[in-house]
Amino acid sequence: MVAAEEEEERDAAIPEPLSLFASCLSQHRFGDQELRVLEAALSAGGDVPALLATRAEARCLLRASAVEAFPATGPVEEDGRRFATADFFARAFALVGDVESCLAMKYEALVLRESKYSDDHHLQVSHDEWLTFAKDSLDNGFYTIASKAFANALAHIRPSHARHLDSANSIQEKDRINNITGLQNLAKSLSAQHSVQTQSAEYMKRRTSGVHEKCNLQPGKPKLPGSSMFRLGIKTRNIKKLLRSQERNLDEI
């Protein structure tokens, strides 16, 4: 009875234009038709505050639904459905302007395709897809993921480069490889700098909250899935912003 009342209160808080889209998400309907429903909801309303409120609520709905749709583990046979779902959420997050979540879902979809459909000409991930994703990740501060994506982009070039080393295109391929390698090195460098800043931010966070615990710097951390790595990146970026704000306030005192 209590759960039903909480659900009714949550549904009542959803703006009217989003009610149909919220219903689609609750029924796990993730397709092109649902994206069109979202587009219509985002353009409904007569004033700017109402549109902004709808967009903000749509982001909350999508984030909650994405967490539910992507459990930490899942059977291998569900990879096809997970890929389609990741693609849906990537496009939906793009519509509501949530760049961080959009990139997380794109990475999830690319990794699934790379591992599951590497032999399928229509579904295998291309060099250009990895390169575009790597540049987007670099521009948005996800340096570790960007470095991995640049490595994948290089892996798609080098076999072709080796086969055509003596061809007229070899110079262009060398230039492409050098450019991507340069971007990858930049991502690695920024990732190393970010790691030092993150440790400082974590210290400031513990000191501010009054919790003084010994840092656990054990090597060999377990590998995280793509979406978890992005969530960790988002968290550390927010802490970094908090640290900078605190430093500015101290300077002004």
Please provide the DSSP assignment of 125-164 as one string: PPHHHHHHHHHHHHHTT-HHHHHHHHHHHHHHHHHHHHHT
Q: Residue ranges of the chain with pLDDT lower than 50? A: 1-10, 72-73, 76-77, 160-164, 211-224, 250, 253
Question: In 5-21, which positions are buried (b, 16+ CB within 10 angstroms) versus exposed (e)?
Answer: eeeeeeeeebbebbeeb
Specify the pLDDT at position 215.
Answer: 43
Specify the pLDDT at position 71.
Answer: 63
- CB within 8 A of 46, min separation 6: which ones? none
Specify the pLDDT at position 182.
Answer: 93
Specify the pLDDT at position 171.
Answer: 82
Specify the pLDDT at position 177.
Answer: 92
Specify the pLDDT at position 212.
Answer: 46
Specify the pLDDT at position 81.
Answer: 81
Joined together, the tokens standing for residue 48 give 């700017």
Q: How far apart are CA 212 and CA 120, in angstroms?
A: 52
DSSP designation for 27: T
Mean pLDDT of the chain: 76
Specify the pLDDT at position 70.
Answer: 75
Specify the pLDDT at position 90.
Answer: 94
Q: How far apart are CA 131 and CA 125, in angstroms?
A: 10
